[in-house]
Chains A and B, each alone.
Chain A
Amino acid sequence: MSIIRDIVVYFNFFIIFYVLAINVIYFLQLMLSAFSLSSYIRKMMSSDYRRYTSSINMIPISVIVPAYNEENTLVENVKSLLELNYPLFEIVVVNDGSTDGTLNKIIEAFNLKRISQPIRVRLKTEPIKGVYKNPELFNLTVVDKENGGKADALNAGINASIYPVFVSIDADSILESDSLVRVIMPFIEDSRTVAAGGIVRVANGSVIEGGLIREVKLPKSRLACFQVVEYLRAFLTGRMGWDALGSLLIISGAFGAFDREAVIGAGGYARGTVGEDMELVVRLHRKMREEKRLYKIRFIPDPVCWTQAPENLKDLKTQRRRWQVGLIDSLFRHKKMLFNPTYGILGLYAMPYFFLFEMLGPVVEISGYLLIPAAFFLKMIDVRFFLLFLTISVIYGVILSVGAILLEEYTFNKYRSMKDFIRLVAYAVLENFGYRQLTTAYRVLGTINYKKHKSRWGSIKRKSFIDSNR
């Protein structure tokens, strides 16, 4: 009995310190993000980036779109990409052995013909079955290949692309028309930039016409609304804060720009992982640091990419499990960097943070949910103290979410109606009662089944963007 008592007592202390530490970090990140965002907004006011939309001095960009069974969204997505406001870019769609009508739909929609484009193979991939083009639509190329996974498709896209910077985007996402101009600015301003990520927002509920976002609205689905708040917090406070520290470890696979030669030099996207986006960024950091090269990996808060958030629990579970597995895999592959001063702030702060709080956080949280009732039945817990502690945690969580909404309102202000704003704040409160615990549980499931799901993507049902407006 005394051993159990000791375990519960020590665990309680551990939880208190753990929660204290994570909340201090979150608060500091919020502050850091607020300053960085304020600087960014003022910088954009003084910047004349719009002149570059028609400049011949821009860096040409290859937009790579890996697609696997995306017949519902791909054509709309490509249409939106063709509308991008950028002087010189190509779109490389890679059909990764889809088993549905993805290839036929895109061939039909853009009147493509099979051509014999020689591809310079710099990264090893599964065999290419064919390359399709329409001579009248010179900047669209479709590469059809054997199935090899997302990383393999991206590598094939890199091989087929011709420009020095590539942007990878998900087939279920759409970009705002100025996105490329903004995401390329770090490369224009500083030639040491090897990668730049943009903010990803939830498209559900917004009005999309002709492949462009015409009106930003909150989704009707409650599940998607929770994710809007979550995305705001993750991007506007999380990634912005990491960027300020020069330790950005994740550039979302949904929208990121990379120096082609730097990525090829690092060996391209790693196959056999579902977290290929994070893994590549960590590897770029690692390689640059090991070679003692000066480099920059940046997060730009406003080149907006709109993505479809899952609207049912099954898809949400698949997504969160994938994120967790990807995180664990990336951290394990680069465990050498953990607490290693050779990698500077990355080794001493960013990697340990992701290991202790992002990877183990869900496990600790769920353990708390299980142990606290046990402690209650064993009469080892001061109920009043526990309730106070719980209330503080919830209120603190709400403050962080409302803080992220405040940053959004202050900076980009995409949700302009008062009604949407009130709903956002309400969801920031409500997410602490159920949604948060649910996503934590999904992440724990990902941790438990890590080996099983290590290289499995899992499919999420996507709606056509035209349907999602309805």
Chain B
Amino acid sequence: MLIAEKAVYGILKFLISFLLLLYVYLVYEKLKEIVFESRRKKESSVINGIIDALFVKLSNSENIEKDVVDLKKYAKTFTGREIAAERLMGYIELIRGDLRNALSRICEELGFVDYEMANLKKRDTFRIALACRRLGEYRSEKPLELLLDKLKTDVYEVKYNALLAISKIGNNEYFLKAFSQEYKVQMLSERNLMEIANSFEGDKAAIYKKMINHENEYLSSIFIRAAGNDRILEVSEEVGRHLASQSFLRKIAAIKAAGQMGDFRHADKIIKELSDPDWRIRAVAAKSLGELGAPGAGVHLKEALKDSEWWVRYNAAFSIIKLGNYEDVLEEIFSGRDEFAKDAAFYALETAGLIKERASASDLASGNLKPFDLKLKQYMEKKGLQYEHN
């Protein structure tokens, strides 16, 4: 009993001491944070002031030697370096051309690039990932070899940030190398890779031309879609070649991209895809034709309105509206018996605010309605909706 009692008292003493320590530690941390914040605030205003002045001088091609010397002094401490790095990264992100190159060189001169390169050798994976990210933001070509080496890792954060850094630095040769088999960048998700492709700051057309035809269908499809996002017309032909691809990924990516690029040359090929056996291809083709704005696609989209798949009908209806001149196409739909097609078409008209617009423009009082409006009115009456002026 005595031993048990001693043990319980021991536990109690331990817990109370632990609790007190925890409390003291919390108060200490809170006070430290208050002091740190106020110091950071003071230093920020000085350092940011120097960098802002330096930027103005750089823009006016004035001498910046003294400002760089001043910055070096502040950048010796951890806080100073963090503040300066943050400000410089902000400027680098905003501007392009010679000014950006000059700021990038200042980052090298201040030792920021070397500092992060040294961090790449640390064991802490998050520190490495952060270093990769910052090296990308400095846009210096100095760490390219090291960044490429970091791609060999299987750690998601490091691989993503290293590849994004290479993309931002914008060196074509290294960017292409990064997608070679040994670096296994395919482990990154589709959206990650598209973001990386879209972030590339070198000669995009040249890179996309090569990558669109990459032997790996996953990578190839990502660059096809990225080309669509960026609307790079120089690669439109390459994209068009994949419209008839046997690969589902390449084909669907090409249909999307062709629509975004707005190159009418691809219209016929996309129209053909409206009858693909796979509904996903049909749905994307229907949407893409609307984005493309191809004249003459309306007749084919009208047929797509009768598709058995909800998404195909939905996309076709919105595309018909986007194309303009929808009256002739939709009059036939509203005269027909396909209620699903009518519903989809009516929803698209309503969402685009066209029902209200037509009702206001129609001569309801005289009853002299256009044939399309008459059909629309009949459909609405059947549904218990009113076709009136507000």
Name the contact of A421 in the complex, choosing from B30, B160, B195 (C-beta under 8 A): B30
- Chain A residues closer than 8 Å to B190, beta-carbon distance: 191
Task: Provide the main secondary structure of the chain B interface.
Answer: helix
Cross-chain contact A118 with B347 (CB below 8 angstroms): yes
Question: How would residues 378 to 413 of chain A score, 1 for a CB under 8 Å from any chain B CB and 0 otherwise?
Answer: 000000110011011001101100110110011001
State whether A395 touches B192 (Cβ < 8 A). Answer: no
Q: Is the CB of B191 within 8 A of A135?
A: no
Q: Given A43-B126, A409-B29, A418-B30, A395 and B195 touching (CB < 8 A)?
A: no
Contacts A46-B130, A391-B12 given; does A138 touch B351 at CB 8 Å: yes
A135 touching B15, Cβ below 8 Å:
no
A118 to B343, CA, bound (A): 6
Which of A48, A118, A389, A409 contacts B164, CB < 8 Å?
Answer: A48
Q: Is the CB of B8 within 8 A of A58?
A: no
A118 contacts B191, CB within 8 Å?
Answer: no
CB distance from A456 to the nearest CB of B (A): 35
Cβ contact within 8 Å between A118 and B194: no
CA distance A324 to B106 in the complex (A): 61
> B residues within 8 A CB of A45?
126, 130
Report Cα–Cα, A51/B8, bound state, in Å. Answer: 55
A56 touches B229 (CB 8 A): yes
Chain B residues 1-50 with CB under 8 Å of chain A are 5, 8-9, 11-12, 15-16, 18-19, 22-23, 25-26, 29-30, 33-34
**Do A57 and B15 contact each other (CB < 8 Å), given the known contacts A135-B352, A135-B353?**
no
* A52, CB-defined interface residue at 8 Å: yes
Residue of B nearest to A121 (CB): B310
Measured in the bound complex, the distance between the Cα atoms of B190 and A59 in whole Å is: 11
Any chain B CB within 8 A of the CB of A216? Answer: no
Q: Give Cα A421 to B229, complex, Å.
A: 48
Which residue of the partner chain A has the closest CB to B25? A406
- Interface residues contributed by chain B, number (CB under 8 Å): 51
Tell me the minimal C-beta distance from A51 to chain B in angstroms. Answer: 7
Residue contact B350 to A116, C-beta cutoff 8 Å: yes
How far does the alpha carbon of A57 sit from the alpha carbon of B33 in the complex, in Å? 37
Distance in angstroms between the alpha carbons of A398 and B12 in the assembled complex:
13
B138 smallest CB distance to A (angstroms): 14
B residues 189-217 in Cβ contact with A at 8 Å: 189-192, 194-195, 198
Alpha-carbon separation in the docked complex, A409 to B130 (Å):
23
Residues from 263 to 304 in B contacting A, C-beta threshold 8 Å: none
Determine if B343 and A403 form an interchain contact, defined as CB atoms under 8 angstroms apart. no
Which residue of A58, A115, A392, A399 contacts B12 across the interface (Cβ within 8 Å)?
Answer: A392
Who on chain A is nearest to B132 by CB?
A46
DSSP majority for the A interface? helix
B192 and A189 form a contact (CB under 8 A): yes
B337 interface hit (Cβ, 8 Å)? no
- Would A51 and B346 count as touching, CB distance under 8 A? no
User: Which residues of A lie under 8 Å from residue B352 when comparing CB positions?
Assistant: 135
Once the chains bind, are B189 and A189 in contact (CB under 8 Å)? yes
A42, B124: Cα distance in complex, Å: 10
A385 vs chain B, min Cβ distance (A): 7
- The CA-CA distance from A42 to B16 in the complex, in Å, is 31
A116–B22 contact, CB under 8 A? no
In the assembled complex, B94 has its CB within 8 A of some CB on chain A: no
Docked Cα-Cα span, A396 to B11, in Å, equals 10
- When C-beta atoms are compared, the residue in chain B nearest to A416 turns out to be B33
Q: Are A425 and B23 in contact (CB under 8 A)?
A: yes
How far is it, in angstroms, between the C-alpha of A391 and the C-alpha of B14 when the chains are bound?
A: 12
Question: Are A51 and B23 in contact, with the CB atoms below 8 A?
Answer: no
Residues of A within 8 A of B22 (CB): 399, 402-403, 406
What B residues does A402 contact at CB under 8 A?
19, 22-23, 26
Partner of A57 from the list B16, B29, B191 (CB cut-off 8 Å) is: B191
- The answer, yes or no, to whether B183 is at the interface (CB within 8 Å) is no
B365 within 8 A of A: no
Any chain B CB within 8 A of the CB of A214?
no
B residues engaging A (CB < 8 A)?
5, 8-9, 11-12, 15-16, 18-19, 22-23, 25-26, 29-30, 33-34, 124, 126-127, 129-130, 132-133, 156-157, 160-161, 164, 189-192, 194-195, 198, 229, 310, 314, 340, 343-344, 346-347, 350-353, 356, 383, 385
Question: 17 A–B contact pairs at CB < 8 A?
Answer: A39-B126, A42-B124, A43-B126, A46-B127, A55-B198, A57-B198, A115-B351, A116-B383, A117-B351, A120-B310, A133-B350, A189-B160, A189-B192, A191-B190, A388-B5, A388-B9, A388-B12
- Give me the interface of A with B, judged by CB distance under 8 Å: 39, 42-43, 45-48, 51-52, 55-59, 114-118, 120, 133, 135-136, 138, 188-191, 384-385, 388-389, 391-392, 395-396, 398-399, 402-403, 405-406, 409-410, 413, 418, 421, 425
- Other CB < 8 Å A-B pairs besides A42-B126, A398-B19, 8 of them? A46-B127, A56-B198, A116-B346, A118-B344, A188-B189, A391-B12, A395-B12, A395-B15
Question: Considering the complex of A and B, which 10 residue pairs feature the smallest CB-CB distances, nearest first?
Answer: A42-B126, A46-B129, A46-B130, A135-B353, A118-B343, A120-B310, A395-B15, A57-B194, A57-B195, A115-B350
